[in-house]
Amino acid sequence: MTFASMPKIELHLHHEAAAPPGFIRQLAAEKKIDISGIFDDAGNYAFRDFAHFLEVYDAATQALQSPEDFRRLTYAALEETAKSGVIYCETFVSPDFCGGGDVTAWKEYLAAMKEGSYAAERDFGIAHRTIVTCLRHLGPEKAKPAALCAAETAGAYMTGFGMAGAEMVGRPGDFAYSFDLAREAGLALTCHAGEWGGPDMVADTIRDLKVSRIGHGINAIKDDGLVDQLAEDGTVLEVCPGSNVVLRAVTGWDAHPIAKLRDRGVKVTVSTDDPPFFHTTMTAEFENLHRTFGWDEADFKALNQTALDAAFCDADTKANLAKKLEDAA
């Protein structure tokens, strides 16, 4: 089996970033918005560092205005993701980009995404769930309406709540109100931590926000006790190695801690984060893990199983996906 043809489960993918940049350029042209400054001569997103990446990301979302834009985005993103053999993915979507946290508007955006998602499942065989994500750099007060949007639309399609954005703003506990609200609505929880912050940020996120998954979490490797705790508790890391390399959260593939974390018993999964920004795909992630750490088909099978177990979807969907993984093997 080639890396391209292996079926894959992807848990950490930002909705607004999952379509090719050409899609965003096309939308911007239709709306006569000039966002040409965020692209390089080859038409790719151009950014200097993480802070600039967040600015470029925000600028790209200006092209996404109506629920219909999000329907088209969802379809295009899932078409692209399915090309790498992804049979199931979860995407992070922020109400801040979909009506600014207004629940009525958010419901219209989400309905449109669902339409795009079902069409993509029909056409490309990819199953999809969404996770509402608040943006940390907007502060705890802005996280509350996002959590309310999540709570009001919790269900089979919108299954989780999380937080992305600039990690060094505030402390995890500042956002406890929003995570409590989402948990009480029955949502599964994840949060970016330990991408830029140290092991203390990962530990505080688990303690204060009571999440079952951590986005990135790679800096946990700097604290042996925390690594043991993650392994013991079964906390799942949504690791995005290609993103970490391009954003320089690590110095290169050889220095990436994913293999060490896995070998110490931590449940690691692999995702692309924002694939067009980092010139990556799930197939490229698998290839790089093979090249760097020698991971082979058995390793990727185990990786898929960890991701499937940690997925924020219902048991029937998991059983269908398990069968697909089995059939492919």
Interaction residues for ligand ADE, span 28-87 (CB under 6 A): 57
Catalytic residue among 16, 79, 195, 238: 195
Calculate the CA 85 to chain-centre distance. 17
The Cα 307–Cα 42 span in angstroms is: 34
CB neighbour list of residue 49: distance below 8 Å, 6 or more residues apart: 247, 248
**The residue to which tokens 């042996």 are assigned:** 224
The number of helices, as runs of H, and strands, as runs of E, in the chain is 13, 8
Q: Which of 80, 195, 238, 285 binds ligand ADE (CB under 6 A)?
A: 195
Closer residue to Zn ion, CB minimum distance, 67 or 74: 74
Q: Does 164 bind ligand ADE (CB under 6 A)?
A: yes
Q: Does 142 bind ligand ADE (CB under 6 A)?
A: no
**Does the annotation count 195 as an active-site position?**
yes
Is the sign of the CA dihedral 96, 101, 103, 105 positive or negative? negative
Q: Which residue is closest to ligand ADE by CB?
A: 164
Return the one option of ligand ADE, Zn ion, none that residue 165 interacts with (CB less than 5 to 8 A, by type): ligand ADE
> In the structure encoding, which two tokens stand for residue 37, read together?
């400054």
- List residues bridging with 93 in a β-sheet: 132
Q: Which of 71, 114, 192, 324 binds ligand ADE (CB under 6 A)?
A: 192
> In the structure encoding, which two tokens stand for residue 201, read together?
């940020």
Closer residue to ligand ADE, CB minimum distance, 219 or 243: 243
Q: Does 238 bind ligand ADE (CB under 6 A)?
A: no
Closer residue to Zn ion, CB minimum distance, 90 or 273: 273
Q: Are 292 and 299 in contact (CB under 8 A)?
A: no
Q: Does 273 bind ligand ADE (CB under 6 A)?
A: yes
Q: Which of 8, 9, 14, 128 binds ligand ADE (CB under 6 A)?
A: 14
First to last CA, the chain: 9
CB of 34 to Zn ion, least distance (A): 27
Closer residue to Zn ion, CB minimum distance, 273 or 285: 273
CB of 253 to ligand ADE, least distance (A): 17
SS3 content of the chain, % helix, strand, coil (to 5): 55, 15, 30
CB of 216 to ligand ADE, least distance (A): 7
Return the one option of Zn ion, ligand ADE, none that residue 243 interacts with (CB less than 5 to 8 A, by type): ligand ADE
Footprint on this chain of Zn ion (rule: CB under 5 A): 273
CB neighbour list of residue 299: distance below 8 Å, 6 or more residues apart: 289
> In the structure encoding, which two tokens stand for residue 109, read together?
């955006």
> Would you please indicate which residues are annotated as catalytic (active-site) residues?
195
**Given the rule CB under 6 A, which residues bind ligand ADE?**
14, 57, 164-165, 192, 195, 243, 273-274
